[in-house]
């Protein structure tokens, strides 16, 4: 016997699954944030350009 009970092994597997799910959620949130940042970096200068153009 390796010293680990079936319950210990089950708990370790459950923990691994939870960590994998948390990592996937973090990846999805990071991608959403990157998309918002990219949009903002495009939209803000574009809006400023058109505001300046309309005021000129």
As to burial, measured by CB atoms within 10 angstroms (0-12 exposed, 13-18 middle, 19+ buried), residue 5 is exposed
Residue 1 has pLDDT above 80, yes or no: no
Structural domain spans, the chain: 1-55
Q: Could you tell me the two tokens for 10?
A: 């089950």
Q: List Cβ neighbours of 24 (8 Å cut-off, separation of 6 or more).
A: none
- pTM beyond 0.75: no
pLDDT band at 56 (very low <50, low <70, confident <90, very high): confident
Any idea what the Cα angle at residue 32 is, between residues 26 and 34, rounded to 5°?
A: 100
More confident residue, 26 or 2: 26
pLDDT digits (tens, 9 = 90+) for 7-16: 999 999 999 9
pLDDT-based confidence at residue 38 (cuts at 50, 70, 90): very high
């Amino acid at each position: 016997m390796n010293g680990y009970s079936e319950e210990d092994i089950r708990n370790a597997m459950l923990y691994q699954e939870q960590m994998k799910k948390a990592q996937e959620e973090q990846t999805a949130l990071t991608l959403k944030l990157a998309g918002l940042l990219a949009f903002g970096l495009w939209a803000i200068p574009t809006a400023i350009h058109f505001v300046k153009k309309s005021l000129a």
